[in-house]
Amino acid sequence: MLRAFLRSALALALPPRCAGCGAIADDDHRFCATCWGSLRFLGPPWCAACHLPFDQDQGAGACCATCLAQPPKHAGVHAAVAYGPVARSLALRLKYGGRAALAQTAARHMLRHLPPDADLLIPVPLHRWRIWRRGYNQAGLIAAALAAQSGISAAGGVLIRTRHTPALQNMNGAARRRAVKGAFAIAAQDRPAIAGRHVVLVDDVYTSGATTDACIDTLCRSGAATVSVLCWARVIDAAPD
């Protein structure tokens, strides 16, 4: 009875908040009706190679123009939602607002896209200077939440960022690729952990793919058999398929 009373008192003092806007919600890790209705959940039909959504079903095995021109090294980019105002709000509150519990919210929606043959979850790493300033790696929090929900191990210290790279927001694709080239590494003693395995690279937002591509290159050169990408939100190009 005491525990029930304390839970009720805590709920009154600190009611659940919408993961998107912060308004009072029905339960933890939920969205209000307005935010929920504005989220675009991703799924088929999509490109068979990179999982970029198609407006119309183009048949089994259909690929987008980018993947036809240059097949990707990854085994697909899996994202829970398309990047938009609510997805952006969650990502920013997790990344800069200290709302670590939102990693669990994101992971709950990402879980349905976790490849069934995944062996290991590895977060996109931050440089140690950025972790010292922020206090945590948001991708690492999401990977840990996914591990707890799925039972698949997460290895946060295997892939490391060896140098501090500039913010990529205002760079074009070519500049982003140059900025992160050679910025990641795996120590020799950690390579057996990924050798021959299906690694899922975890991040919060997938934009151009420059950072994840650099990570994938490092993972593949270190022995990973397959690398998929799993993220909370993906920026969808408005250009036609």
Render pLDDT for 41-85 as a digit per residue (tens, 0 to 9).
999 999 999 999 999 998 889 999 999 999 999 999 999 999 999
Q: What is the pTM of this model?
A: 0.88
Spatial separation of the C-alpha atoms in residues 125 and 138, rounded to whole Å: 9
Q: What integer pLDDT is reported at residue 3 of this predicted model?
A: 59
DSSP type of residue 46: B
Residue 186, strand partner residues: 159
Hey, what domains does the chain have and what are their CATH numbers? 1-38 (no CATH), 40-234 (3.40.50.2020)
pLDDT score at 5 = 42
d(Cα 35, Cα 37) in Å, to the nearest integer? 5
Q: What is the mean pLDDT of the chain?
A: 88
pLDDT at 102 over 90: yes
Q: Which residues pair with 82 in a beta bridge?
A: 234
Query: Which stretches of 111-209 are DSSP H helices?
Result: 128-134, 138-150, 173-180
The stretch 149-153 carries a mean pLDDT of 96
Is residue 50 within 8 Å of residue 231, measured between CB atoms? Answer: no
DSSP code at position 189? G
- Per mean pLDDT, which of 21-35, 52-66, 144-158 is the most reliable? 144-158
pLDDT digits (tens, 9 = 90+) for 199-219: 999 999 999 889 999 999 999
Residue pair 183/163 in contact (Cβ under 8 Å)? The answer is yes
Q: How many CB atoms lie within 10 A of CB 231?
A: 26
Q: State both tokens at 105.
A: 């919210």
Residue 1: predicted pLDDT:
53
Task: Classify residue 105 by burial, with Cβ atoms within 10 Å: 0-12, 13-18, 19+.
Answer: buried
Instruction: Please state the rounded mean pLDDT for residues 150-176.
Output: 83
DSSP letter for 41, please: B
| DSSP secondary structure code for residue 53 in this structure | B
Report residue 226 as tokens: 């397959």
Residue type, 25: A
d(CA 219, CA 226): 9
